Structure 1
Amino acid sequence: MKQTIDQLPLNKEIADVLQQLGVKDKNPAYSTGLSWGGQEGGTTRSIHSPADGNLIATVHMATPEHYDKVVEAAQEAFKVWRKVPAPKRGEVVRQIGNKLREHKEALGKLVSYEMGKILQEGLGEVQEMIDICDFAVGLSRQLHGFTMHSERPEHRMYEQYHPLGVVGVISAFNFPVAVWSWNTMLAAVCGDVVIWKPSEKTPLTAIACQHIIRDALAENEIPEGVFNLIIGDAEIGSLMSHDKRVALISATGSTRMGKKVGEAVGARLGKSLLELGGNNAIILTENADLEMALNAIVFGAVGTCGQRCTSTRRLIVHESRYEQVKERLLKIYPNLPIGHPLDSTTLVGPLIDKDAVSAFNNALEKVQQEGGTLLTGGDVLSGEGYETGTYVKPAIVEAENHYEMVQEETFAPILYLIKYSGEVESAIEIQNGVRQGLSSAIFSTNLLETETFLGHWGSDCGIANVNIGTSGAEIGGAFGGEKETGGGRESGSDAWKVYMRRQTNTINYGRELPLAQGIQFKVMD
């Protein structure tokens, strides 16, 4: 009797990876750092690889009772962790970074196999975690405030930053571990404790991370509740968002999800950091270096199978270069190696699941109904190696920016090819003419064009690049976007400030009590 795809045994390579990373056949619903719980009650979820459909492992899904246990542990841990000197907190993060270095290859393979991104991207995601640990270590000695001159004599004024409390991190499937590290390592050196709810589609990489950092926590006698993990569905995310005990919610996902989180957190006057949808464009002017641009365009459009928030969705090309660009892309796209993400020759892996495939198909159908022309791709692959039904051929569609589907973010490899005429301002207007504002790029060797793009009348996105693509950000810069992207900032620069509460202090070291603004007020006996 022939086995179905989800009955096939895992290959030895993946089985070894799971063993090395501590991922079991059945995994608990939560961890408070050193210990695990949640095997009782609740439901279980089976996690299959989008690469070959094989069952990787199952996880217990947390209940509200499990959630309360984790929050209570976090609250108690905060009382201790906030008193640890920041450089000492940084030392723990340094050791976590070293643990990630030791397990980079294994964790990168699991990221690739569970999520579907190619191995190079999986390894790159783990490297991003290592890099943010290094950044956070340096930051732990630079949590600086500011000193101001007081208008009152013999007074000193300054600002300082204090730990915020319990930070909730809700991450998405497309970057199953990196976004957690962006938030957690910065929050940790700031003195906060973290509760991480990963996507229910990719919880195994999160479980692996918790196992990886456990030794560093134990060796430094870090109390339970500083680094927490909870596996759950939207109910757990909703509990976090509404919970007054959680000072900050950092949520990555769709704009629709972000609006719900923002509404819930805002209603209780909490803090939220939202990293939401992108509808990113590359502008190719008549002065673009096409050879440089092509690799950026294709990686931006098909990398992670179009499932990055910074994926290139729109290519806005000057009419003088339009046919040349179209011709080159139509030669490249049919030859893209599509296949198993752990195959070193693969450049395009699968979509995360069949719901994503349906969204891909629906978007292509609707944009053609609006007048778009499908130039290449759009097929769902079948046959040997493609039995999961999650592999698709990346598509290129000639379109206009005002089309409803072009205005939407479809998390799939669809590139809309848009022509512009006139000066660069016309292209910038097209680029900015969407509700999202995450990443943007221009390819041009003309200084006047690039500086216009970077000016305050230019790109309205949180990220604006010149002669590089929209996808792939370094951890040293603050990451985030404007408009319906949410306005949050993570990772580098001064993004650390969101994880702290700001306090202004005034000290009177004289023997008089002058009031500000020269107010005279004196009480008499």
Structure 2
Amino acid sequence: MGFAKKEYEFFSEIGLSERNLGCFVNGTWKARGPVVTTLNPANNQTIAEVVEGSIEDYEEGMQACSEAAKIWMQVPAPKRGEIVRQIGDALRAKLQQLGRLVSLEMGKILPEGIGEVQEIIDMCNFAVGLSRQLNGSIIPSERPNHAMLEMWNPLGIVGVITAFNFPCAVLGWNACIALVCGNCVVWKGAPTTPLITIAMTKLVAGVLEKNSLPPAIFTSFCGGADIGQAIAKDTRIPLVSFTGSSKVGLMVQQTVNQRFGKCLLELRSDCGIVNVNIPTNGAEIGGAFGGEKATGGGREAGSDSWKQYMRRSTCTINYGNELPLAQGINFGS
């Protein structure tokens, strides 16, 4: 197993082991689904094993989350903000380790892996401020000496389905706001980055436990399409946030709309790069190999000389354990 490698020694600092249960259900790690192997995309070597969740695990988790929602929505918003602040502090304490995990399991360069975790910390800071600004309105009434008060109420549970190319930052964008607004969070991470889902959840769970709050306020599942479909169909989840392909996003939207739910969709990454002249300083090569991410190039067009330059340069670029990426790259016309 991968833990024989020195590069994985830090896993124990963020609660990971060689074999991990992939569902956090009411304060307990469990899973009754298939066992999957998570791989380093740079060299396809095994990192660890994860037991995915089953529909039975999902249902058990949702029942607990529904009960926790009744408690969490009664917590004053500034106090919910304090919990999110502590989550940010917990992430900050493990910033380097989580950033390394993102780089290892997803394939980003290390600075971007660390930067992605930093995004969640920044979102925690932002959400803490918002927790004291959930203002309502005082509206004049037709009745003498009366006024009407408008207040915002939590939805209850927010479902978050994230993609592999931003395996934890997108969670932060959704979960931080959902939590301060009084909503519980049900998170399904990408099937190819389950270790990130588990490590992130353990940090959040630690904060909830320290504050004697129901652990089901934050529930997570590692699994495949069956878990995602269950979230989309579940009437107990008024709002579903999905990040991924346009094809699957449309399916999620249609499923949620059929039950009159709400959707947040962030779909498709297909940035184009057009090059006319052969680069002289290598900057274009760095941009062209930005990685598989929402801000990375997905299509490239250029002259024959540009393609020849790319072929030569590709053979000199190594990722991970000196793995050349010349194989599998298609230079079309």
CA distance in structure 1 between the partners assigned to 2:26 and 2:56 by the alignment: 18
- When residues 156 and 299 of structure 1 are mapped into structure 2, their CA distance, relative to the original with a 3 A threshold, is farther
Cα deviation for residue 279 of structure 1 reads 3.4
- When residues 67 and 230 of structure 1 are mapped into structure 2, their CA distance, relative to the original with a 3 A threshold, is same
Number of the residue aligned with 2:165: 174
Number of the residue aligned with 1:86: 77
Cα deviation for residue 64 of structure 1 reads 1.0
CA distance in structure 2 between the partners assigned to 1:45 and 1:215 by the alignment: 26
Indicate which of 280, 285, 289 corresponds to 1:302: 289
CA deviation profile, 1:296-342 (whole Å, cap 9, x unmatched):
x6665432x2x2223345689xxxxx99xx9899868854763235x
- Scaled by the length of structure 2, the TM-score of the pair is 0.87
CA distance in structure 2 between the partners assigned to 1:314 and 1:160 by the alignment: 47
- When residues 149 and 37 of structure 1 are mapped into structure 2, their CA distance, relative to the original with a 3 A threshold, is same
Cα deviation for residue 42 of structure 1 reads 2.4
Cα deviation for residue 144 of structure 1 reads 2.1
Number of the residue aligned with 1:365: none
- When residues 122 and 394 of structure 1 are mapped into structure 2, their CA distance, relative to the original with a 3 A threshold, is farther
Number of the residue aligned with 1:115: 106
Number of the residue aligned with 1:183: 174
Number of the residue aligned with 2:188: 197
Question: Percent identity between the aligned chains?
Answer: 40
More deviation, 44-53/110-119: 44-53
- What one-letter code is carried by the residue in structure 1 that aligns with 2:318? G
- What one-letter code is carried by the residue in structure 1 that aligns with 2:253? G
- What one-letter code is carried by the residue in structure 1 that aligns with 2:289? V
Number of the residue aligned with 1:249: 240
Give 3-state SS (helix, strand or coil) of 1:161's partner: coil
- When residues 280 and 154 of structure 1 are mapped into structure 2, their CA distance, relative to the original with a 3 A threshold, is farther
Number of the residue aligned with 1:260: 251
Indicate which of 323, 326, 331 corresponds to 1:385: 323
Indicate conservation of the 8 Å contact 1:111/1:117, yes or no.
yes
CA distance in structure 2 between the partners assigned to 1:264 and 1:249 by the alignment: 10
- What one-letter code is carried by the residue in structure 2 that aligns with 1:22? G
For the pair 1:30 / 2:23, whether they are aligned, the reply is yes
- When residues 8 and 75 of structure 1 are mapped into structure 2, their CA distance, relative to the original with a 3 A threshold, is closer
For the pair 1:211 / 2:206, whether they are aligned, the reply is no
For the pair 1:13 / 2:7, whether they are aligned, the reply is yes
- When residues 118 and 158 of structure 1 are mapped into structure 2, their CA distance, relative to the original with a 3 A threshold, is same
CA distance in structure 1 between the partners assigned to 2:288 and 2:128 by the alignment: 34
Give 3-state SS (helix, strand or coil) of 1:163's partner: coil
The equivalences for 1:105-504 within 5 A come to: 105-149=96-140, 154-280=145-271, 301-303=288-290, 305=291, 307-313=292-298, 334-335=312-313, 338-341=317-320, 385-386=323-324
- What one-letter code is carried by the residue in structure 1 that aligns with 2:16? V
Unaligned runs of 5+ in 1: 1-6, 285-289, 317-321, 344-383, 399-525
CA distance in structure 2 between the partners assigned to 1:334 and 1:129 by the alignment: 38
- Scaled by the length of structure 1, the TM-score of the pair is 0.57
Quick check: which one's helix share is greater?
A: 2
CA distance in structure 2 between the partners assigned to 1:241 and 1:69 by the alignment: 17
Indicate conservation of the 8 Å contact 1:33/1:217, yes or no.
no
Cα deviation for residue 262 of structure 1 reads 0.5
Give 3-state SS (helix, strand or coil) of 1:225's partner: helix
Give 3-state SS (helix, strand or coil) of 2:38's partner: strand
CA distance in structure 2 between the partners assigned to 1:21 and 1:156 by the alignment: 52
- What one-letter code is carried by the residue in structure 2 that aligns with 1:106? Q
Give 3-state SS (helix, strand or coil) of 1:52's partner: coil
Cα deviation for residue 55 of structure 1 reads 1.2
CA deviation profile, 1:215-261 (whole Å, cap 9, x unmatched):
21121111121011111110010011011111111111000110110
- When residues 27 and 199 of structure 1 are mapped into structure 2, their CA distance, relative to the original with a 3 A threshold, is same
CA distance in structure 2 between the partners assigned to 1:220 and 1:71 by the alignment: 22
CA distance in structure 2 between the partners assigned to 1:333 and 1:152 by the alignment: 77
- When residues 315 and 158 of structure 1 are mapped into structure 2, their CA distance, relative to the original with a 3 A threshold, is farther
CA distance in structure 1 between the partners assigned to 2:146 and 2:270 by the alignment: 51
- When residues 261 and 390 of structure 1 are mapped into structure 2, their CA distance, relative to the original with a 3 A threshold, is farther
CA distance in structure 2 between the partners assigned to 1:176 and 1:42 by the alignment: 21
CA distance in structure 1 between the partners assigned to 2:175 and 2:24 by the alignment: 15
Indicate conservation of the 8 Å contact 2:25/2:57, yes or no.
no
- What one-letter code is carried by the residue in structure 2 that aligns with 1:184? A
Indicate conservation of the 8 Å contact 2:274/2:300, yes or no.
yes
Indicate conservation of the 8 Å contact 1:33/1:210, yes or no.
no
Cα deviation for residue 390 of structure 1 reads 9.0
Unaligned runs of 5+ in 2: none
